[in-house]
């Protein structure tokens, strides 16, 4: 019998039962409703990030999700853009709005898009970084 690590990284897609389908439907319904409610706030945050400096509004973090599939987890950018990747992500200087976005967890609102894509779930852990699983 294979251990959980091998099973997770094997990339096999398991057949989904009724409980999984109900959970997926609930995830989609909650994500759609949440996006409808928070979209004005997300627009304001995106404009504030764009006005603050150059660089993308969203950060993408490579993660491994269910069945070992890789995906790009979306978050609002809370640190200064470093196109040369000269500094580690944790060592970069934060933007002026960054600490507020992190404290209020608004930075994670774009993950609702990941939920709609089926890469994440509303309940459960976030995707794991490939570096932590190696």
Round the average pLDDT of the chain to a whole number and report it.
80
As a dihedral over the C-alpha atoms of residue 6, residue 114, residue 46, residue 95, rounded to 10 degrees, the angle is -20
Stretch 81-97: mean pLDDT, rounded?
Answer: 73
- Round to whole Å and give the CA distance between 86 and 102: 23
Provide the residue ranges of all domains of the chain, joining segments of one domain with +: 4-133
- Nearest Cα neighbor of 118 from 67, 60, 62 is 67
| Range scoring the smallest mean pLDDT among 4-18, 40-54, 70-84, 98-112 | 4-18
Q: What is the mean pLDDT of residues 7-17?
A: 50
Which residues face 85 on adjacent strands? none
* pTM given for the model: 0.74
Q: Residue 2 has what pLDDT? A: 42
Report the C-alpha gap between 98 and 94 in whole angstroms: 6
Report CA Rg, the chain.
17
Average of per-residue pLDDT across 92-120: 91
Across residues 63-89, what is the average pLDDT? Answer: 79
**C-alpha to C-alpha distances, 35 to 27, 30, 78, nearest whole angstrom:** 12, 8, 20
Q: How does pLDDT run across 24-71, given as a tens digit for each residue?
A: 899 999 999 999 999 999 999 999 999 988 889 999 988 887 667 888
CA dist list (Å): 59 to 6, 26, 52, 75, 113: 29, 26, 15, 5, 13
Helix (H, G, I), strand (E, B) or coil at 26: helix
- Mean per-residue pLDDT, 81-96: 72
Residue 8 clears pLDDT 90, i.e. is over it? no
Q: What is the pLDDT of residue 82?
A: 72
């Amino acid at each position: 019998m294979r251990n959980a690590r091998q099973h997770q990284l094997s990339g096999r897609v398991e057949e989904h039962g009724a409980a999984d389908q109900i959970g997926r439907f609930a995830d989609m319904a909650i994500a759609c409703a949440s996006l409808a409610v928070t979209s004005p706030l997300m627009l304001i945050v995106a404009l504030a990030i764009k006005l603050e400096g150059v660089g993308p509004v969203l950060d993408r973090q490579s993660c491994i999700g269910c069945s070992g599939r890789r995906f790009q987890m979306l978050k609002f950018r809370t640190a200064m853009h470093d196109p040369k990747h000269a500094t580690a992500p944790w060592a970069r200087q934060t933007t002026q709005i960054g600490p507020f976005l992190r404290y209020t967890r608004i930075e994670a609102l774009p993950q609702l898009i990941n939920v709609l894509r089926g890469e994440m779930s509303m309940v459960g852990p976030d995707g794991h970084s490939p570096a932590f699983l190696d």
